Amino acid sequence: EVQLVESGGGLVQPGGSLRLSCAASGFTFSSYSMSWVRQAPGKGLEWVSYISGSGSTIHYADSVKGRITISRDNAKNSLYLQMNSLRAEDTAVYYCARGHSYGYENWGQGTLVAVSS
């Protein structure tokens, strides 16, 4: 069974940093591209970042470019999102998701990031 478990969310002050993790199991992690998708409270879904299976191709949404870094450790079956210079508008539930061209077929339960003073 495919499982994605996010961790690392929490309350952080504006300008602060946070590192999210996503632990994957139940599939050959290195064979799949992964993404982060976020959802602000009461709002819709927003794609944040993508990384290919090998880690060689990375894309970011304009709203986070320059402040967020996606990475993966295929030996540890883990996906990461380093978030710096956080703003109030980054407050959201962050999901890791497996898949790409044919949709995100698996999602984690999400981890809440709250940016507030």
Partner 1 sequence: DIQMTQSPSSLSASVGDRVTITCRASQSISTYLNWYRQKPGRAPNLLIYAASSLQSGVPSRFSGGGSGTDFTLTISSLQPEDFATYYCQQSYSNIPTFGQGTKVEIK
Stretch that binds partner 1, among 14-22, 68-76, 82-90, 106-114 (CB under 8 A): 106-114
Q: Which amino acid is at 76?
A: K
Least Å distance, CB 39 to partner 1, is 9
Distance between CA atoms of residues 6 and 106, nearest Å: 13
Taking CB under 8 A as the rule, does residue 32 contact partner 1? no
Question: How would you label 54-68 residue by residue, b for 16+ Cβ within 10 Å and e otherwise?
Answer: ebeeeebeeebeeeb
Candidate list 59, 85, 88, 116; residue touching partner 1; CB under 8 A: 59
Q: Around Cβ 48, how many Cβ atoms within 10 Å?
A: 23
Question: Which residues inside 62-101 make contact with partner 1, applying CB under 8 A?
Answer: 62, 95, 99-101
Give the interface with partner 1 as residue ranges (CB under 8 A): 35, 44-47, 50, 59, 61-62, 95, 99-105, 107-110
